[in-house]
Amino acid sequence: MFVKGVGMTRFDFSQKYWWELAYEAAMEALEDAKMNISQIDIIIFSSMSSTDGSEHQTHKVSLLAEIFKTNVPIIEVPAVCAGGGVAFWVGVNFLRTKRYRNILVVGAEHLVENVSEVVVDHILSASERFLEQMEGALFPVQNALLWQRYQQKYGATMDDLALISYKNHQNAVLNEKAYFYQRPVSLEQIKKSPVVASPFRLFDCSLSVNGGAAAIISRERTDIKILGTGFATDTILPFSRKDETHFLATKIAAKEAYREAKIRLSDIDVAEIHDAFSSVELFSYEDLGFAKEGEGAKLVREGYFNLDGKVPVNPSGGLKAKGHPISATGLAQVYEIVNQLRKRCGKRQIKNPKIGLCHNIGGAGGSVTVLIFKKI
Ligand code: COA
């Protein structure tokens, strides 16, 4: 199975409808694949904003059929922040049935409006309603608590997290589709930014934005092979897990993807890792196997994950600085990795990457996908 083309809108606060963002990203992916919509056998899509306010449309598949001018099956895949990754995983499994040849996978979100309560409620619906939300455990709070546990156990510091955020901001400055494109942020600014949920500061949190991303996947051979895929789930309450400092779903999804890809971890040249919070990027290094448990921060200090490091992570700027439009994020990761493998990334291009990995999380480790791609 292969990737034919990828597309992505700019990530920003533009006031386009979610279906306009989906259309824009899909058209770019089709153009990249040198195809038109009539060659698509099935569409898989994900969008959280499709369930809200003036943009709410129960019969979304029909709305998309009209927009895309098609009569093929259209399937909606909801998995909050992992919506894009899970939609991709579902698409790959449809290809496996051999019934479909070319699939459009698309995620889009019009998340940020002027009414911030709506955005907050949207994001909150990805966590547990009664115990967490009613106790005020918003995502920054929940993740700050998990981070405190990690700190107690392994002794990493807020300065380590600031370095992760700084790396992602430096990369985003070079990405014309990222929110922070050409808007540099200093390490000092990051360390002195306002406290959001102690000890997390503003720059430890990802940035909610609007945007869309898409990929055309196919059974027809191209230069980008889908080498391995993994998808795992876990409890919605992270505090009811045996290990609160790491995400078991990441470990399981990664194991499955590595096994299918038949590669060693050292074969991976570049990765997009789900940095919903800087701490999540840190312990995901460990969950994915790039570092031993508790040793991720050591590699951060050595610059191991920098653009010129051994395994560059989040060359796009990540969720932190490119932005995080929930259901589009997993496919934006695919967009970056495919373009890195095709050497189209300009100033943020990594030297000669052959194998790339995407890691997409829904909630606090409640659903996770890992996708591995190879340039052939
Ligand atoms: N990093 C850097 N800058 C940020 C930012 C972030 N995470 N969030 C907002 N800003 C900036 C905005 O761009 C804006 O700048 P401007 O005035 O120059 O336009 C300014 O800060 C105020 O924006 P606003 O939207 O009012 O911020 P806020 O205080 O309402 O929200 C957070 C800040 C951290 C609470 C919010 O970004 C957040 O909740 N992030 C996490 C999202 C999340 O949980 N996603 C799901 C993960 S699983």
Closest protein CA for atom 4 of ligand 1:
207
Average pLDDT score over residue span 277-295: 97
The finding on whether 183 has its CB within 6 A of some atom of ligand 1 is no
Q: Among this protein's residues, is 345 annotated catalytic?
A: no
Asked if the structure places residue 19 within a domain, the reply is: yes
Asked if the structure places residue 55 within a domain, the reply is: yes
Q: Among this protein's residues, is 274 annotated catalytic?
A: no
User: Ligand 1: which atom is nearest the Cα of residue 204?
Assistant: 7
The finding on whether 138 has its CB within 6 A of some atom of ligand 1 is no
Catalytic residue among 205, 324, 345, 358: 324
Q: Considering the chain, what is the average pLDDT of its residues? A: 95
How far apart are the C-alpha atoms of 324 and 329, rounded to whole Å?
6
Asked if the structure places residue 106 within a domain, the reply is: yes
Task: Look at residue 48 in the predicted model and tell me its pLDDT.
Answer: 85
Task: Look at residue 102 in the predicted model and tell me its pLDDT.
Answer: 98
CATH number of domain containing 67: 3.40.47.10
Asked if the structure places residue 45 within a domain, the reply is: yes
pLDDT category at 116 given cuts 50, 70, 90 is low
Annotate 171-237 with DSSP letters as a single string. Answer: HHTT-TTSTTTT----HHHHHTSPEEETTEEGGGB----BEEEEEEEESS--SEEEEEEEEEE--S-
User: Ligand 1: which atom is nearest the Cα of residue 203?
Assistant: 1
pLDDT tens-digit readout, 309-368: 999 999 999 999 999 999 999 999 999 999 999 999 999 999 999 999 999 999 999 999
The finding on whether 45 has its CB within 6 A of some atom of ligand 1 is no
Closest C-alpha to 42, from 89, 92, 104? 104
Of the listed ranges 107-116, 140-149, 181-190, 288-297, the one predicted with least confidence: 107-116
* pLDDT beyond 80 at 123: no
Q: Which domain holds residue 42?
A: 2-115+209-217
pLDDT tens-digit readout, 58-73: 889 999 999 999 999 9
User: Ligand 1: which atom is nearest the Cα of residue 277?
Assistant: 47
pLDDT category at 130 given cuts 50, 70, 90 is confident
Count of domains for the chain:
1
* pLDDT beyond 90 at 127: no
Peptide bond into 199 cis (omega under 30): yes
How far apart are the C-alpha atoms of 15 and 164, rounded to whole Å?
30
Torsion sign (Cα): 28, 33, 36, 42: negative
Catalytic residue among 81, 205, 345, 358: 81
pLDDT tens-digit readout, 219-248: 999 999 999 999 999 999 888 899 989 999
Position of tokens 């009414």?
115
Asked if the structure places residue 160 within a domain, the reply is: no
Asked if the structure places residue 14 within a domain, the reply is: yes
How far apart are the C-alpha atoms of 61 and 308, rounded to whole Å?
43
